[in-house]
Structure 1
Amino acid sequence: MNNKNRIKEFAEQQYKTHQNLNARINLWSYGSNPESLQEWIFSKIQIQEYERVLELGCGTGKLWFENFNNIPSTCSITISDFSEEMLNKAKENLEPLNLPIEFEIINAEKIPYPNQTFDVVIGCHMLYHIPDIQKALTSVNRILKPGGRFITTTVSKKHIQELKEFLSDFGLYSEMKIKFFCEFRNETGNEVLTPFFSEIKFYEYINEVNISSVDPLMNYIESMFSIEEKPDFQENKVEVEKAIEKILEKRSRFKITGISGLFEAKKPKGT
């Protein structure tokens, strides 16, 4: 199996349901940053009146649910995901709010809209799950109006470094990052985006969590290894849990530093 197929398989398994995503989001609710990641992202997007907006990889719709009071009533928003279950969960969360939102199943590599349709395209923590990122960025560029904005978020190579080092002691992390993710990070995003967009800006978001109980951390870890092939996470699970318990007994907390980043890029005018 080539790497693109592995990335595709991982994304399909991870986001078949919303449980894995919720487990990871829940961990950051213990964070020290008073502004949630979704609030921070929305503040950077700055949606204007009458703009037409597309979100790719909407997940459970958390970006819009947390910021529904700040959505301009005259804008037109389409949120999408490749996972039908994810999109249904987003509908469940958002439809009662009567927002100007439509819901679509979309593969980011084949966005089914005419050229120059949208003022803003958003992709939060999703580009690294796309097997052919160049194809996706070509598609995003095509549907943006000249001067339109692409807002995309990712993580640093140093994101959750403490947890990576902990898992590496069990041989768990290094193989997964090679198999199941393409290279789009804070450190490489500018290089990846430059062939397609101009006026690229970067912003960093840091959130440090201190976990004092086993369950939230184990839920997060288990969500990462739902299809890990070798080594088999289930064989290591008990030992991992015991190791976390020892750390908590010794330090009373398990610190994890989350480092995310947001890129704002524009489609050049006249293209």
Structure 2
Amino acid sequence: MCPMKLLKVTAASATVFALALTATACGSDDGGDSGNGGGKKITVGIKYDQPGIGLKEPDGSFSGFDVDVATYVAKQLGYDAKNIEFKETPSADRENALKRGDVDFIVASYSINDERKKQVDFAGPYLLAHQDLLVRADEKGISEGTDLNGKKLCSVTGSTSAQNVKKEIAPKANLQEVGTYSECVDGLASGAVDALTTDDSILAGYSAQEQYKGKFKLVGLKLSNENYGIGVKKGDTEMVDKINKALEKMVSDKSWDKAVQENFGDSYKNEPAPKIGDIVK
């Protein structure tokens, strides 16, 4: 009888152990859960190579205005900074990243436009930038009013800046589209391209980097209005509403002003904080 008793106890113990494993597995899910903290993770898409906007530092930390905005918003949704996972989302992959569910939302110099709104929903805007040109400091051939057709320009694949050049600004320009703005900066420094074109906020961040101080200058154009929004999976109106409330609070408690000053400094003449839903055409 003893062996039988041992068998029964062992079987019962195995059942309890299996149930414990199941409960542990269910409780260890660290995937994002919209607006629900509780120690769970939230994944936010940002840029890794835009100084002042979204930059992955050599020590693995992240800095930039978008990073500060994302961190503030995530906190309002119930997530501590330690529970935020930042994921690199290049311009050309932002819509797909949301569709695949790779990220919960995207804060990555993501300009709101009608074409993108067909694929994703946007909260915001939270910053109004303008497309401009970054040129070498000794450049004299490009200034306000210069015809850019025939010039060697560089921008990022999938960016609104690249689309603006091809459709409106200079359809006959020699436009080089690359994966990151860092590649454009390298091309500008080497003389391979005449100008880097994108949002003035991004250009200001690059020109302010220690290794580039005095080497580049912004032309000072306002070639377009870029309303930065926070991208959310299409149809997730609840998330959009929560993020909009967080952004409104960020402006009202002056955290927005602090983030602008800390990331852009006095050299960037930013526009006032936009009102939620106020898209400047």
TM-score range normalised by the length of the shorter chain? 0.3 to 0.5
Hey, which of these two has a bigger chunk of helix by percent? 1
TM-score (norm 1): 0.34
TM-score (norm 2): 0.33
Structure with larger Rg: 2
